[in-house]
Copies of this chain bind each other. A is one copy, B any other.
Amino acid sequence: METYYFDNSATSCPKPEEVYKAVEAGIKDYNANPGRAGHRKALESGKKIYEVREKIAKFFNIENSLNIAFTANATESLNFAIKGGIPTGSHVITTNFEHNSVLRPLFYMQDEKEVSLTFVNTYKEIEENIKSSTKAIVVNHISNVNGTVQDIEKIGKICKKYNLLFILDASQSAGYIDIDMERDNIDILCLTGHKSLFGIQGIGAICLKEGVKIIPVLEGGTGSFSKLSRQPKEMPELLEAGTPNTPGILSLGAGIDFINRIGLNKIKEHEDILTKRFIKRLRNIDKIKLYESFTENQGPVISLNIEGIESSDLAQILDEEFGILVRAGYHCAPLAHRTMGTYETGTVRFSFGYFNTEEEIDYALDALKNITLQI
């Protein structure tokens, strides 16, 4: 059976051809340990990794590419940012649309570091919740449940005004919407490589604004500063302990090349057309409950339920009968479901990517309509 992949919020699929090639180069041509030796192969790997740092810096407008550290995934980046960057005893404002990769580190801070938390639905409620003890804002740029887009330029302005640390989870947004570390006044940008940036799984990054201080959560070999008994304070070594993921890093570089070649705006435009088409028609189908963005902008991910069918059953029917691949359940974002009124039911999530087509959207719409007619 032909399959229709609408689970791009989990991982983008397929990857561009150049990403496959970059991975192959990473494990064949550049298979040495970068920064760990002076021989030609290690230097070549190191150079390739430096090039990717430069690409990321340019893509997100980061002045000094050495302020970018590679991580295993956005979760690791967010742990580094939250556990290493938020002061003990401070007040933090975050949203109800955070993923567990933000919530669990924040609850750790609440339990262990006397941090107090305020949850808001959108960026519009941030300023009114600022207290004298507020030190940081942690925001999921685009909800992985209903596509709520937070206005990070506005949040950045608030953070600047009140001198707050701005930590951005860009897992769902990087590679879809323009992010500018300087313009948006972001202090810590947390990225995953394998979603809209088109890299493979196992690679992420954390980008610090110049001067932002973080205490490392992980420590280990850095290939340089070997005689120091603790982690070096210099970036990127500060946050890069152990052998880097050369193939993953190169895949991320190739993913950014792909985006630059197509054009970020064109990618966004395409995904927006798909999302609008999907939502517009679904609004006209009886028995379908849609869970849309809480702000004026909708990202390319949306949740729904069909009256009378469990979300997990619906996902199974879509898969087995129509070859439609979506995710059902809570999507690792429990508070979003409290907020949307789906805490007991979960939702079925459709998430679109650049490689989806309007025909695929229509196929999914027909399938959903078909299912509603049968119950």
Binding site for B on A (CB under 8 A): 3, 5, 7, 10-11, 13-15, 19-20, 23-24, 26-28, 31-33, 36-42, 71-76, 78-79, 99-101, 103-105, 107-108, 111, 192, 194, 200-204, 217-223, 226-227, 229-231, 241-248, 251, 312, 315-316, 318-319, 325-334
Contacts and interface: CB of A to CB of B under 8 A. Distances in A.
Given A194-B243, A230-B107, A331-B226, A221 B75 contact: yes
A32, A220, A319, A327 — most chain B CB neighbours (10 Å): A220
14 contacts: A11-B243, A26-B201, A38-B315, A38-B319, A39-B327, A72-B202, A73-B242, A74-B242, A79-B220, A100-B221, A104-B229, A201-B247, A202-B246, A217-B218
Most buried by B among A19, A39, A194, A229: A39
A107 B231 CA distance: 10
Contacts of A334: 226-227, 229
A192 B39 CA distance: 22
A10 B24 contact: no
Given A42-B10, A219-B105, A330-B226, A75 B325 contact: no
Given A100-B221, A104-B241, A248-B245, A20 B24 contact: yes
B107 A229 contact: yes
B107 A37 contact: no
A7 B28 contact: no
Q: How many copies does the complex hold?
A: 2
Given A27-B23, A72-B72, A243-B73, A325 B220 contact: no
A326 B242 contact: no
Contacts of A13: 31-32, 41
Contacts of A42: 7, 10, 325, 327
A101 B221 contact: yes
B37 A7 contact: yes
A323 to B, nearest CB: 8
Nearest to A312: B38
Contacts of A74: 242
Given A76-B242, A104-B230, A41 B223 contact: no
Nearest to A226: B330
Contacts of A28: 14, 20
Contacts of A325: 32, 37, 39-42
Given A7-B33, A247-B23, A329 B100 contact: no
Contact of A223 (B204, B222, B332): B332
B23 A36 contact: no
Interface hub of A5, A100, A331 (most chain B Cβ within 10 A): A100
Contact of A76 (B218, B312, B316): B218
A220 B101 contact: yes
A316 to B, nearest CB: 6
